[in-house]
Structure 1
Amino acid sequence: MTGEGLRRELGLLEVTVSGVGIILGAGIYALLGEAAALAGNAVWLAFGISAVMAACTGLSYAELSSMFPRAGAEYDYVRCGFGRRWAFVIGWLILATGVLSTATVSLGFGGYLFGATGIPVIAGGVILVAGITVLAIRGIRETALFAIAMTLIEAAGIVFVIIIGLPHIGSVDYLVMPNGFSGVFRAAALVFFAYMGFEEMVKLAEETRDPERTVPKAVILALAVAVALYMLVTVSAVSVLGWEALAASPAPFAEIAGAVLGEGAFTIIILVALVATANTALLLIVAASRLAYGMAEGGSLPAPLARVHPRFGTPWIAVLTAATLSAVFLFAGGIAYVANATNFALFLTFMVINATVIVLRRRMPETVRPFRVPGTVAGVPFVPVLGILFSFSLLAQLDLPVIGLGLLILAAGVVGAYIWERKG
């Protein structure tokens, strides 16, 4: 028995803000310095390239979420397109992505907390994971309200950095690329993680009112807001500090504010960054637990993961499981390594998701699609084709140790698919 279903309490505002909250905190506050080290002053271009690539796959998610508004998200989409075995593998990869992403953002939180208090980075990450676990179990309405408040704060922090950087616009050469265009493209592969969030939003479908229309709109709106803020703030950041100082700082936003306005501004931005990364980690845990819930409901994961708390209406065992695994991965290494391991699973999943849109256009042409990816060539939607090509090109930019870890995660999913199929 799984208990009663999830509660539909979210509208367009809550889902959109949740998406913006995941996207903003996951990227700029955690990875700007790492990206600047690769792309130099052209870090803005890396974010722009990633934005185009993310938009292609985001549109595919919008179409599929309008067809299958379920918490299982990718698992349900791929099951309809390619069957249950592939669905398990993709669900497994997305669960791994959620766990690794939470660890990545929690390490970012730990870095800012260390700058403010001296608490070790990993210890700070563990404290965060424990706190967000309690809130995620408490209820989706409470989580959404918290996310709205925190997202407003983190967006204000980004707008603040944009504003203080305006007088410095034009002070540097924005095309300086210390590692050439290959460095910019490698940075784009890294900061693709910064746009992660639209694929997490769709997992809120079973807690959203009128999800067939609400979720696709929210995906597009959240991506649009994130792209605009990212492009503006990266130009502002390099204008104030230059890429060398950004690359050397564990807390780049705080460095920017401190350089312009002094120590008081440094402290304020540290606090905003803590809010941003905490908010993102919370929403990632929520999304990962909903996918686990959906897969358990579909019979592809142990039934206890589909249990809903009788008082709070949340999949509490799934939340605890995702949070525990995320805490373990805090010990895996540096933030860039964990983020890129996340990206391997993400790029591979996005290739399959885009392929699912193409396949379902042929297999299920009569199925109602409240949102439809625009543009076709010879009956084939070309945006998902671009999404496949972009995802493959980004995957090829990853280092061999990262690819090795990603292949291990993939192999575990394949083995799990065969084992679970035999049990079923």
Structure 2
Amino acid sequence: MTQDISVPLQGAAAAPRVKGARKALGLGSLLAVAIGLVVSQGVMVLMLQGAGIAGLGFIVPLGLAYLLALSYAFSFSELALMIPRAGSLSSYTEVAIGQFPAILATFSGYIVVAMFALSAELLLLDLIIGKVYPHALPSMTVAFGVLALFTVLNLLNIDIFARLQSVLALVMVVVLLLLGFSAVGHENAAPIASLSLEGWNPMGFGVLALTALAIWGFVGAEFVCPLVEESRRPERNIPRSMIIGVSVIFFTISLYCLGALLMVPQEELASNGLPHYLFATAVFGETGQLLLVTAAITATCSTLNTSLAAIPRMLSGMAHNGQAFPCFKRLSARTGAPWVAVLFVAAITGLPVLLMGVDSINLLLIAAALAWLLAYIIVHVDVIVLRLRYPDLARPFRTPFYPLPQVIGIVGMLYAVWHASPSPELTLQIFASAGVVLGIVSLIAVLWIKLVMRKPLFTPEPIEKALNPDQV
């Protein structure tokens, strides 16, 4: 597959260093990657539902999620520039706290997230097309059709979005900003004063429970880290791209939510499964429906394609490092695609769609957020451990006010995990779904490390393995 910033996760198990790699990516390209996860219907839905539940008070969990995002941006920046390889999470964790956390973090942060989040994206796409074009197709036809299409394309090693990913990320941010600005100035918009600043946060401290929901809008900025070897002035541009990226996202989502509160009754935002449909229709009428369908198709296809291109290559890299089943190393003789890994990712994406249905969208998205938060907590621990074990190692970027961002990040993310559900009835289902999958992953990882790799679970690898892999 041609190297492109649309697939920043190639070999998260540590791809070999490419000597003389061209430093082609500047701040603009890295920023497009950092905000790329905004290209998601899940973000568009969850943010509006949060605003519907809390009103203007949603700015509190949104602000906390932004601070937590800055904390992980600091940690990833320090690690990526201290171990400047095209690896990422697994590379950092195996030299900090051992093989088991490395495998768990990588699966939790990417494979398990794909299982839940991509399923939710497909369900949302099926739902929105069924809403705009009722009775056009049987239920789930769009979801499974799109999954089958992009599975085949990736088996053929065809990436139809390779040259468009940065543009798509920008377009989706522009769509959210357009909705927000248009709503604020709309002739039918409620006056901002009507949102009642006096009672702006009716939930009180209870609004903090929405932090896990809010953080879904900020995950993924670390996708720039595996591009460190191809970046110009990485010591400056890697941290800046993540920090600017999550800041742009914070402003964009805040305006998007404010516009929705001015155009759509708060109760409808909270209870409707497609609040972005209500918002777009209220602002632009039937034209808004067309805009939303186009954005939904683009967002879901782009996200699904990127994941089916990147995650199988991550699994292939882990298999080459002995951290995953050897079958994931198999490549198609004709196309070079990691066909076993592609089929595996497609299967785990389709399984929740098949078994859970449209009523499980929120459950899937919040479960994905929990899995991603677990990976971020491990990253914060990596920074603290490596600071203690290798205090004199060169660090082109050092976390400001260390260790406060790491401590705040760990505590805040644990709080968000504990209060993951916006409604008590979902709590058990969310923890059960995420817990069962992560439990299975953990069991397999323990057996694999002990019986196949024959290594201890929590003994760190030598730092030389990460810094100079070709010489170890």
2:447 aligns with one of 415, 419, 422: 419
Alignment counterpart, residue 402 of structure 1, candidates 427, 430, 434: 430
Equivalent residue letter for 2:81: S
Q: Which runs of 5+ in 1 are unaligned?
A: none
Distance in 2 (CA, whole Å) between partners of 1:121 and 1:21 is: 29
- Corresponding residue SS for 2:395: coil
In 2, Cα distance between the equivalents of 1:100 and 1:6? Answer: 32
Aligned-pair CA distance for 1:197: 1.5
Partner of 2:458: none
Q: Deviations over 1:187-242 (max 9, x none)?
A: 22113122122244435557x44695454443333222212211111111111113
Give the alignment of 1:179-198 within 5 angstroms: 179-182=203-206, 184-198=207-221
1:343 to 359, 369, 376: 369
The corresponding residue for 2:115 is: 99
User: Aligned partners of 2:397 and 2:120: how far apart in 1?
Assistant: 32
Paired with 1:222 and 1:286, the residues of 2 have a C-alpha distance of 23
C-alpha displacement of 1:63 = 1.7
Taking structure 1 as reference, are residues 120 and 20 closer, same or farther at Cα in structure 2, changes over 3 Å only?
farther
- Equivalent of 1:323, from 341, 346, 368? 346
Aligned residue identity for 1:48? G
Q: Max radius of gyration: which structure?
A: 2
Q: In the alignment, is the contact (CA less than 8 A) between 1:254 and 1:269 conserved in 2?
A: yes
Q: Who is 1:391 aligned against?
A: 413
Distance 1:164 1:201 in 2: 32
Q: 1:193-272 to 2 correspondence within 5 Å?
A: 193-203=216-226, 208-209=230-231, 212-213=234-235, 215-272=238-295
> Match for 2:172 among 133, 146, 154?
154
CA gap of 1:329–1:210, structure 2 versus 1, over 3 A, is farther
Q: Measure how far apart 1:245 and its partner are.
A: 2.3
What is the root-mean-square deviation of aligned Cα atoms in Å?
3.1
Give runs of aligned pairs for residues 366-377 of structure 1, distance below 5 A.
366-376=392-402
| Residue in 2 that maps onto 1:23 | 38
Code of the aligned partner of 1:400: L
Matches of 2:156 and 2:29, distance apart in 1: 17
Partner of 2:51: 36
Take 1:18 and 1:411, find their aligned partners in 2: how far apart are those partners? 31
CA contact (8 A) 2:224 2:238 kept: yes
The one-letter code matched in structure 2 to 1:396 is W
Preserved contact between residue 179 and residue 283 of structure 2 (Cα < 8 Å): no
TM-score (norm 1): 0.86
Shift of 1:396: 0.7
Kindly tell me: are residues 26 and 260 of structure 1, through their superposed partners in 2, closer, same or farther at Cα, counting changes over 3 Å? closer
Residues 366-412 of structure 1: CA deviation (Å, up to 9, x unaligned): 33333222113xxxx21111110111000110313322332222322
Amino acid at match of 1:372: R
Please, which of 32, 44, 47 is the counterpart of residue 62 of structure 2? 47
The within-5 A match list for 1:293-312 is 293-307=316-330
Q: Structure 1 pair 347/414, CA: closer, same or farther in 2 (3 Å)? A: same
Matches of 2:446 and 2:152 in 1, distance apart?
34
Question: In percent, how many aligned pairs have the same letter?
Answer: 23
Offset of residue 352 of structure 1: 1.4
Matches within 5 A, 1:15-164: 15-25=30-40, 27-70=42-85, 72-94=87-109, 95-118=111-134, 119=137, 122-136=140-154, 143-164=161-182
- The alpha-carbon deviation at position 133 of structure 1 amounts to 3.5
Between structures 1 and 2, the one with greater helix share? 1
CA contact (8 A) 2:48 2:257 kept: no
- Partner of 1:330, secondary structure, is helix
Instruction: Report which stretch shifted further, 155-164 or 257-266.
Output: 257-266
SS of 1:145 mapped into structure 2: coil
**Cα deviations by residue, 1:115-140 (Å, 9 ceiling, x for unpaired):** 22234564322233233335556669
Aligned pairs, number: 416
AA aligned opposite 2:168: M
Contact 2:180 2:255 in 1 (8 A): yes
Alpha carbons 1:91, 1:291 under 8 Å: kept: no
Contact 2:62 2:211 in 1 (8 A): yes
CA distance in 2, matches of 1:210, 1:318: 32
CA change 1:274–1:177 in 2 (3 A) is farther
